[in-house]
Amino acid sequence: MRRTLKKYINKNNKLKHGVNKNKDKLIGISLYNIYKLLMFTLRRECYYFEDTENKMNAPSIVVFWHGKIFPVCSATKIIKKKATIISASKDGDMLGELLRGEGSELIRGSSNRDNIKSLKEAVRYAKKKYSIGIAIDGPKGPIYEPKPGAVFIAQKTGFPILPISSYTSKSWVLEKLWDKMEIPKPFSRNIQYVGEPFYLSKDVEIEEAKNIIKENINKCTEKAYEIYKKKYILKEK
C-alpha cells in the first residue's frame, strides 16, 4: 500500500511539474510577444566602440547586467551563432523564450563557477565558434556583482569579453525584483552601447577579473547615457 501511494505521489508530482513547465513556457511566449511589440515602438540606436561592430560575429563572451536583458537583447541580434546561459528555474523558462526568439541557443544553469555542468556546456559551444551570452550578476544577484563563470569561460577559451549596456529615456523598473529589471516604455528612446572587447589572461585573480568586467559594463552604461544626453538633452537646450 505504501509503495503504491509513493508511486502515485511521484507520478502526480511529475504531472504537476509538466503542467508548470508548460505554463511557464506559455508565459515566456507571451513575454516574447510583448517584447517584440515594445521593440517595434522603441526608438533604438546602437553604438559601438570604434570598429567593434565589424567584430560582432567573431566568437566572444557577451556580458550584461541581468536587469537590462530587455533593452540589451536586441543589440546581440546581429550575432549569428550564440548561446546564452540562463537559470534552470521557472524564470529561466520564461526568459528562455525571449532569447530563443532572438536566435540564441540556451544553456540551462547559472554563471556561478560552482555550476560546472553549464560552464562545461558553454565551453563545448565555444569550441563550435559560438559566442556565449551571460547575464553576469544572475541568476539571483547580488545586483551588479559579477559571478565568476564568465572569467572561467574566457580563460578556458581565450575568447575576448564583450560588454554591453544601455540607457532608456523612460522605463518601468520592477523594484521588487532583485535585479531591478528595466522594461522600456513604448516610444521611449533606447541607446545601446557595445564596448571595447578585452581579454583576461589565465593568471589574473578571480576578484580582479570580476572588477574589470564590472568596470567595463558600467563604462558602457555611462557611454550610452552620454550619447543620449548629447543628442537629446543638450540639443534641446
- pLDDT by residue (tens digit) across 48-82? 999 888 888 899 999 999 999 888 888 888 899 99
pTM for this entry: 0.86
What tens digit of pLDDT does each residue of 136-184 get? 998 888 999 999 999 999 999 999 999 999 999 999 999 998 999 999 9
Residue 104 has pLDDT above 50, yes or no: yes
Residue 230 grid cell: 548629447
SS3 of residue 130 by DSSP: coil
* CA-wise closest residue to 143 among 227, 69, 225: 69
CA angle 44, 46, 52 (to 5 degrees): 165
* CA-wise closest residue to 207 among 134, 146, 122, 153: 146
Residue 84 has pLDDT above 60, yes or no: yes
Residue 14 has pLDDT above 60, yes or no: no
Residue 131 grid cell: 559566442
Residue 11 has pLDDT above 50, yes or no: no
92 phi and psi angles, rounded to 5 deg: -65, -35
Distance CA 187, CA 191 (A): 13
CB-based burial label for 44 (10 Å; 0-12, 13-18, 19+): middle
Quickly list DSSP for 132-200.
EEEETTTTT--TT---THHHHHHHHH-PPEEEEEEEESSEEE-TTSTT--EEEPTT-EEEEEE---B--
What tens digit of pLDDT does each residue of 111-131 get? 665 578 889 999 999 999 999
What are 194's strand-pairing partners? Answer: 48, 164
Residue type, 173: V
Q: Which of 12-16, 99-103, 108-112, 186-190 comes out lowest in average pLDDT?
A: 12-16
**Is 114 or 28 the better-scoring residue by pLDDT?**
28
For residue 74, how many other CB atoms are within 10 A of its CB?
19
CB-based burial label for 97 (10 Å; 0-12, 13-18, 19+): buried
